[in-house]
Structure 1
Amino acid sequence: MTSATPGVIAVPGASDALSARLAEGLEAVERVIVERTRHEDDFITEANLHLAQAGGKRFRPMLTMLVAELGEGINDDVVAAAAGVELTHLASLYHDDVMDEAEMRRGAPSANAKYDNSTAILVGDLLFGSASDIIADLGPAAVKIQAQTFIRLCAGQIRDDRPCPEGTDAREYYRSVLADKTGVLVATAARYGAMFGGCSPEVVAMATEYGERLGVAFQLADDLIDIASQSGETGKTPGTDLREGKRTLPVLNALASQDPADAELQRLLVSDLREDADLARALELLRPHQAMADARQETLAVGQRAKEVLAPLPDSDAKSALLALAEGVVHRAG
């Protein structure tokens, strides 16, 4: 069973030579993923690779290899770490789709829709195990980072699935959730790239901070895309977060408005939006709202802060590409 290398987010700052090394590295990552998820039971192999073969940008493994280029470049350990990070991400998607009762992922049936909830949960667990097995080959420091990442990732998912605690600022709470549920794994992807690419401890720390800020910006951009996109533009139905009652940053901004003119929108945002007409009306009101503009401005600001972390680094092809990546993340449309 093989898996085609998916496309990645375009990195305009990368030279042809760097782009070629990244593409070669991604092919190696795909080979590791296929090899380490192959099982003697064909059904388990198929279920393991269901989402991996559905596509995806391979954003996290690409970041691992790109950060490694700040040091000595891509090697076998960097590839292994990138594969471990991607399998951890894929495992979390299996669990996410069960929690969200999702029917589609990356334009294909979700694992829970294709199989069932129990299978999707167990395959997610198996992929977490496979990721940890790969990371264990890289030494105790990497294992410790993987464990700490997994703790924050799961804590973020738990908090994301629960209402904001009474007396807590809802937007600050949401920002902290994003740092855990998305930022931490992107931070680990960058951290592993620096560690196994032979970078200094100072650059490892810098890459980790850059990665966490980049991950938060990535998720904030996703929040905007969920509302702003039109049907068919992405592999996800527009307004999915709204339908599920998730209070992302644009929603929280709108709910904080004191303008009486926002009464209809606010009523819709706190109601059951499973009816298509109600969802369509909420999207119609929210898309041009100042709440979206404010959320977009914050997304751009977080991306800018990610770039500022890299300021002390000397100019290089890899640095230019990382700066361009942060730009691409906040301005993407899908």
Structure 2
Amino acid sequence: MTVVGPFGASVRDSALEADIRTGLAAVEAGLIEATKSDVPFITEAAQHLVRAGGKRFRPLLTLLAAHFGDPHAPGVVPSAVTVELTHLATLYHDDIMDEAEIRRGVPSANARFDNTIAVLTGDFLFARASTIAAELGAEAVHVQAEAFERLVTGQIRETTGPGPDQDPVAHYLEVIAGKTGSLIAVSGRLGALLSGADESVIDVMAQYGERIGVAFQLADDVLDIASDGEESGKTPGTDLREGVVTMPVLRLRERVARGERESAESDPALRRDRELLALLEGDLSDDGRLAEALAGLRAHPALEQARRDARSYAEQARRALDPLPDIPARRALAELCDAVALRTT
């Protein structure tokens, strides 16, 4: 039996598996404890998404990183709880901005309660995460605060969009490095730090975490187009319908812009690309138009380019592990890279 983590990846070493199982169970208990309040309603709201479950990828990465030091050091599990609480806080806020109705198979907090309660609950979760981080020491507080700043900066960059002279693809990669990669990087960094691992290991885990975080988001972009919904956990085309611009659409825009510079106006390929882009950027609330848009993008080279982008970052994450000793934890981290790449197929 193996511990199956995010993307279907698994921990295959029996001793490591036992440690990870025990650690994840402790993290789950820590999340429940950290979201309790003397006010019953706050407990209900704060535990809403905790009890809905989730991949727990960030705690898993924290626990794996700790195996390059002392995995049973007293700060390891609390640091995993800290990063997951911070992640949960962002989900409460994200769902308000996206007007989401479902999160992890249950009504989003803003749908179950209202926007005000969801905002305040997200703030409550971040406060609890900060309290735990403070108990871990000044460096842990600094690391968590720096990550939260990058999260917010990434969200603002996404909201404002690229500047007039900025490459949209480069801008998007900066956005997801902040919104997704930064906290995953902190997960590995804190796990190594609180386990007493060498500074070089801490740096490696931060680099690995950010790259695999970007790879995961890019893979998710592909899945929104290419999946049948079962592996992604959401209806295909959700991002398209909601007007969220992801890498496949950006790659199509890039192709159209290049065609307009280099091709004749009568070029049939340019004309088809323009028509598909107009469809994607139009009203996709109608199921028929959404299905047409999905079919067009699934058959377009832009989707394959987005797949290559995701695989490239997964490979960068794998290469970041090269300086680490060849122990089961490193092999498990490398397997996560394989799983992200496989997820795009």
TM-score higher than 0.5: yes
SS at match of 2:120: helix
Q: 1:245 Cα shift?
A: 1.4
Quote how far apart the aligned CAs of 1:274 are.
2.4
| TM-aligned CA deviation for residue 210 of structure 1 | 0.7
Counterparts of 1:219 and 1:277, CA distance in 2: 27
The residue number in structure 2 matching 1:212 is: 210
Output the TM-score relative to the length of structure 1: 0.94
Between the aligned partners of 2:126 and 2:41, the Cα distance in structure 1 is 18
Matched residue, 1:322 = 333
1:131 Cα deviation (Å)?
A: 0.7
* Aligned equivalent of 1:169, options 167, 170, 178: 167
Alignment correspondent of 2:93: 95
Deviation at 1:250, TM superposition (A): 0.5
Note if contact 1:64-1:82 (Cα within 8 Å) is conserved in structure 2: yes
Q: Secondary structure at the match of 2:51?
A: helix
Deviation at 1:82, TM superposition (A): 0.2
**Which amino acid in the other structure matches residue 115 of structure 1?**
F
| SS of aligned partner of 1:22 | helix
| Higher RCO, 1 vs 2 (CA within 8 Å, ≥6 residues apart) | 1
Contact 1:22 1:65 in 2 (8 A): yes
Q: Give CA deviations for 1:167-215 in whole Å, capped at 9, x if unaligned.
A: 2110010011111011100000000011011110111111111111111
Query: How far 1:233 moved relative to its partner?
Result: 4.6
1:73 to 71, 74, 94: 71
2:105 and 2:123 mapped to 1: Cα distance? Answer: 23
- How many pairs are equivalent? 329
Name the CA distance, whole Å, in 1 between partners of 2:229 and 2:176: 25
What amino acid is the match of 2:149?
Answer: I
Residue 13 of structure 1 and its aligned partner are, at CA, apart by 5.3
Give SS of 2:132's match.
helix
Structure 2 CA distance for aligned equivalents of residues 206 and 233 of structure 1:
30
The 10-residue stretch of structure 1 (255-264 or 72-81) with the greater mean CA deviation from structure 2: 255-264
Contact 1:72 1:197 (C-alpha < 8 Å) held by counterparts: yes
What's 1:269 paired with? 280
* Equivalence for 1:252: 250
Counterpart residue identity of residue 293, structure 1:
E
The separation in 1 between residues aligned to 2:73 and 2:191, in whole angstroms, is 10
Q: How does 1:43-62 map to 2 (within 5 A)?
A: 43-62=41-60
TM-score, scaled to structure 2: 0.91
Per-residue Cα deviation, 1:291-319 (whole angstroms, up to 9, x for no partner) = 11011011111100111011122211111
Q: Which residue of 2 aligns with 1:300?
A: 311
1:261: Cα distance to partner? 1.9
CA RMSD of aligned residues (A): 1.7
Write out aligned runs for 1:102-113 (5 A).
102-113=100-111
- 1:190 corresponds to: 188
> After superposition, where does 1:8-157 map in structure 2 within 5 Å?
8-9=5-6, 10-12=8-10, 14-157=12-155
- What amino acid is the match of 2:335? A
Contact 1:13 1:323 in 2 (8 A): no
Shift of 1:229: 1.9
Contact 1:71 1:197 in 2 (8 A): yes
Paired residue for 1:3? none
Q: Shift of residue 75 of structure 1?
A: 2.9
Given residue 324 of structure 2, which amino acid in structure 1 is its aligned partner? L
Instruction: Quote the Cα distance in structure 1 between the aligned partners of 2:52 and 2:338.
Output: 26
Change (3 A) 1:115 1:122: same
Residues in 2 aligned to 1:14 and 1:85: alpha-carbon distance in whole angstroms:
25
**Higher deviation after alignment, 273-282 or 58-67:** 273-282
Determine helix, strand or coil for the equivalent of 2:325. coil
Shift of the alpha carbon at 1:333?
Answer: 6.7
Per the TM alignment, residue 231 of structure 1 is displaced from its structure 2 partner at its CA by 4.0
**Which secondary structure does the structure 2 equivalent of 1:313 belong to?**
coil
Cα pair 1:15 1:317 within 8 Å, conserved: yes
How many Å separate the matches in 1 of 2:230 and 2:9?
A: 24
Q: Indicate how the Cα distance of structure 1 residues 119 and 85 shifts in structure 2: closer, same or farther if over 3 A, else same.
A: same
3-state secondary structure, aligned to 1:312: coil
Quick one: distance in 2 between partners of 1:225 and 1:144?
Answer: 35
1:76-104, Cα deviation, whole Å (9 max, x unpaired): 31100000000000110111111001111
Identical aligned residues as a percent: 49
Aligned equivalents of 1:103, 1:133: Cα separation in 2? 30
Higher Cα Rg, which structure? 2
Does the Cα contact within 8 Å between 1:65 and 1:74 map onto a contact in 2?
A: no
CA shift, 1:323, in A, is 0.6
